[in-house]
Structure formats: C-alpha cells, structure tokens
Amino acid sequence: MALALEGKTAAVTGAASGIGLACTQALLAAGARVVLIDRDADALAAQCAGLGPAALPLVVDLLDAAQCAAMVPRVLALTGVLDIFHANAGSYVGGDLVDADSTAIDRMLQLNINVVMKNVHDVLPHMIARGSGDILVTSSLAAHFPTPWEPVYASSKWAIHCFVQTVRRQVFKHGIRVGSISPGPVASALLADWPAEKLAEAKAAGSLLDPAEVAEVVLFMLTRPRGMTIRDVVLMPTQFDL
C-alpha cells in the first residue's frame, strides 16, 4: 500500500526539536524525503542519525541574512525538487512589554515574521514553475486572540496570519496551497520564557499539547485532495481556558 506522501520532498525549518522534529517524523513516516533545517548542527546530526536516509540535514542560521538567502538554493541542490515547505522556526518573548529586552524583541520579530516572508518568497518561484506545492507556517493560537501575557509574540503571529492568508489568495491560481497551523501551548522549549506560574498551572492542569499532536494535524492538512485547501487550523488542549 502506497504511503500518503511517497515520492514527495519536504523541507522543515526549526526541525531539530519540538514541533519541527515531530512534523519531520510524521512526514518521513508518510513516505516523504525531508530536509531538516536548523542552526543547531549537533542536535541536527543527532536527530538525523536515527531518522534514516530520507532525512537530510541542512545547517542554516536563518537570522544570518546571507545564510537565509542561500537556504532554498541549498535545499534544491540537495533534492532537485521541493513539494512541501514548512516554515516552522520561531522564537518567543513573553511577559510584560515594559520588561522585555529590545534585542530579544528584534530577534523574535526577525525570525517570526521577516524570515518566514523571505523563505516563502524564495520558495514560490520553484513551486510556481512546477504548478504545484504546499506551504505551511507554524502560527499560534495567539494569532487569533490578544493574549495579555505575550503582547510581542502575539503581535508577530497576528502579522504572519495576515501574510499567510493574503499570499494564499495570490498563489492558489498556480496550484499552490498555503495554510497555517495555530496551536495553543505546546510542551516544547519555546515555553521557556512563559511566566513560571502560568507554565506550572498549565502543566498541572494537563493543558499543554504534545508536538506529535500538532504533527498529526499537519499531516492531515497535507494529505487532503489537491482541490481542498485548509487555510488555518486552531487547536488547543481541551483543558486550556482562553
């Protein structure tokens, strides 16, 4: 029996841990070849060692402008083709705005917004030429609700939600599907900056998603018939009250 994504090639940013790693594992299990993109060379090598020959590591620091610009050409040099691009890499700044470090704000906005826009910009010519492709962006529940404990992070996700939905309208005529996945809190390193009391409360209540649960939804989005675009999925733990 053929696997759902057999013969497809994907690239995932922020793939060495968390949601990116879980989505990579799901794509591989569905038969895809996957380029894992991350700045952490050691973590990337360790993960790929156990994932098999269809997992191709690519060390890229997306906050380095030259490396970011070279990412898509390097992916295509490895694979020759790209069917799926998952812009997953991101960072987090939480807490009161008055307490935030301005350098951390700049870094987060660069990674969560500018890098995503540039990566999608660079992927589009290849997919347009082929007349097919899937682009997914990891967004957040914070893109849909003005979360009071994370104004900087939430604002970055509101911006990228608008970007996803406007680009989707531009490129569907080329056979390209664009969508985002907006999970609530996920048990990953991204929550390291959450207020301690908020994180402890979430853990105690069982109101955190597992990265593998997010990956299941990503796989669902990618394996729908080509005539169907799932433009955004909001998912949250049942016990999460927002």
Q: Is 162 helix (H, G, I), strand (E, B) or coil?
A: helix
Two tokens at 114?
Answer: 């500018």
Per DSSP (E only), the strands in the chain are: 9-13, 33-38, 55-59, 84-87, 133-138, 176-183, 232-235
Told to judge if 153 belongs to the known catalytic residues of this protein, a careful annotator would answer yes
Angle between helices 211-222 and 18-29 (to 10 degrees): 50
Asked whether 22 and 96 are in contact (CB, 8 A), the reply is no
Two tokens at 198?
Answer: 């908020």
Which of 85, 92, 153, 158 is an active site residue? 153
Q: Is 109 helix (H, G, I), strand (E, B) or coil?
A: helix
Helices (H) and strands (E) in the chain, counts: 8, 7
Q: Is 12 helix (H, G, I), strand (E, B) or coil?
A: strand
Positions annotated as catalytic residues are 153
